């Protein structure tokens, strides 16, 4: 299963691509889409969309995982973040890729084991988990972490689904 993780932002959007082969995670690539605050929001969103679509066309993922919006003190910043998230969701929907959303707490817990981990801890753990030669930039590391979170969550959902199916068929002891 190939997963594209996205950490949305209007100035910097991180993306990371991994492949799960059984319990093994393989790093396929990562990067950032950087825009200028001097450019109008519509043009920044278009640039983010175009780059995410390019990545999807070049490395077609089986799933797209996006970080959910956190509660922000600055409403204007939160709204801009929502726009960038919407672009990531649109890129997935336009390419018929299932989209999954995870909170920062879920992502940090899946990668570091602690929901209030620092950005540096997330960067170091993504480097270790994916055996990267160097630490990925913060936004790309966050995107890789979202993809890793999806692998762990998806595997758990599969196991729970199989257990529920076996239980409903009377294959499990009461």
Q: Would you list the domain boundaries of the chain?
A: 2-168
Helices 104-111 & 138-168, crossing angle to 10 degrees?
A: 90
Does residue 63 contact residue 98 with C-beta atoms inside 8 Å?
A: yes
- In this structure, what is the dihedral angle of CA atoms 98, 79, 121, 103, given to the nearest 10 degrees? -40
Q: Which fold has domain 2-168?
A: Nucleotidyltransferase; domain 5 (3.30.420)
Cα–Cα distance between 150 and 14 in angstroms, integer?
Answer: 16
pLDDT score at 160:
47
User: Which residues are the active-site residues?
Assistant: 7, 67, 139
For residue 95, how many other CB atoms are within 10 A of its CB?
15
Q: What letter does residue 172 receive in the DSSP assignment? A: S
Does residue 33 contact residue 16 with C-beta atoms inside 8 Å?
A: no
Question: Residue 57 is encoded by which pair of tokens?
Answer: 């066309």
What does pTM read for this prediction?
0.87
User: Mean pLDDT of residues grouped by 10 in the chain (174 residues)?
Assistant: 96 97 94 96 97 96 90 76 94 96 93 90 95 95 97 66 54 57
């Amino acid at each position: 299963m190939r997963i594209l993780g996205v950490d949305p932002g209007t100035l910097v959007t991180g993306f990371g691509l991994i492949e799960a082969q059984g319990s093994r995670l393989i790093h396929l690539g990562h990067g950032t889409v950087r825009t200028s605050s001097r450019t109008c929001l519509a043009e920044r969103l278009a640039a983010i969309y175009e780059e995410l679509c390019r990545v999807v066309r070049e490395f077609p993922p089986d799933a797209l995982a996006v970080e959910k919006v956190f509660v922000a003190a600055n409403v204007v910043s939160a709204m801009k973040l929502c726009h960038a998230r919407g672009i990531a969701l649109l890129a997935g929907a336009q390419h018929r890729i299932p989209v999954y959303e995870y909170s920062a707490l879920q992502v940090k817990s899946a990668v570091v084991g602690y929901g209030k981990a620092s950005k540096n801890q997330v960067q170091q753990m993504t480097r270790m988990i994916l055996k990267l030669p160097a630490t990925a930039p913060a936004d790309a590391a966050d995107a890789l972490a979202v993809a890793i979170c999806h692998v762990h969550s998806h595997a758990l959902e599969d196991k729970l689904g199989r257990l529920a199916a076996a239980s409903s068929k009377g294959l499990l002891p009461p």
